[in-house]
């Protein structure tokens, strides 16, 4: 991933477009933006691989990524293609377990990267803002689990 030279204001403007952060104030977005890194990845670039241990999440500012998982026969299966405003990699940020899927840039993509280290620092520096962000991540994970449960019941 290539780091972009965007400043905190530009990163805050990117964060402002993320739907699940919509209720944060501009001041909160500016503060939060200092803990994110902007990165540009080329089409086809692997952002991370299933089983990797690097702990960060990615927010898609522009572009699209493909979520790929290996099946029992070691065949790559595309689970979804997600685009602007979506987040990926949040499970590892929370639980520290190895990556559950591979993420590949489906096109040139701009990401905002938030590491576990930066989460820990945010918790120390701005605990209320960190709590808001963690609640949002919990809600996101809960929504995904509910959707997956609904899809699973249709397969049973």
Span 1-58, pLDDT tens digits: 555 556 888 999 999 999 989 999 999 999 999 999 999 999 999 999 999 998 999 9
Please state, in angstroms and as integers, the Cα–Cα distance from residue 116 to each residue in 52, 99, 137, following that order: 14, 14, 13
Distance CA(70)–CA(68), nearest Å, equals 7
The average pLDDT across 91-119 equals: 93
pLDDT of residue 73: 84
The average pLDDT across 60-79 equals: 90
Which residues are CB-contacts of 46 (< 8 A; sequence separation ≥ 6)? 102, 103, 104
pLDDT of residue 4: 57
pLDDT of residue 127: 98
Average pLDDT for the chain: 90
pLDDT of residue 8: 86
- Quote the tokens at residue 143: 């929504």
Q: Whole-model pTM?
A: 0.86
Are the CB atoms for 103 and 57 separated by under 8 Å? no
* pLDDT, tens digit, 9 for 90 and up, residues 109-155: 999 999 999 999 999 999 999 999 999 999 888 888 888 777 777 77
pLDDT of residue 94: 87
- What letter would DSSP give residue 20? G
Distance CA(116)–CA(118), nearest Å, equals 5
pLDDT of residue 85: 93
């Amino acid at each position: 991933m290539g780091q972009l030279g965007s400043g905190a204001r530009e990163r805050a403007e990117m964060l402002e477009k993320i739907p699940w952060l919509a209720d944060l104030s501009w001041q909160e977005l500016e503060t939060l933006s200092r803990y994110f890194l902007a990165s540009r990845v080329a089409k086809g670039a692997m952002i991370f691989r299933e089983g990797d241990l690097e702990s960060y999440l990615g927010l898609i500012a522009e572009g699209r990524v493909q979520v790929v998982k290996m099946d029992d026969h070691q065949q790559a299966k595309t689970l979804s293609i997600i685009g602007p405003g979506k987040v990926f990699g949040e499970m590892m940020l929370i639980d520290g377990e190895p990556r559950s899927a591979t993420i590949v840039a489906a096109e040139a993509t701009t990401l905002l990267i938030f590491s576990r280290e930066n989460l820990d620092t945010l918790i120390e520096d701005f605990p209320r803002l960190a709590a808001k962000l963690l609640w949002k991540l919990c809600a996101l994970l809960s929504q995904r689990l509910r959707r997956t449960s609904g899809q699973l019941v249709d397969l049973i």
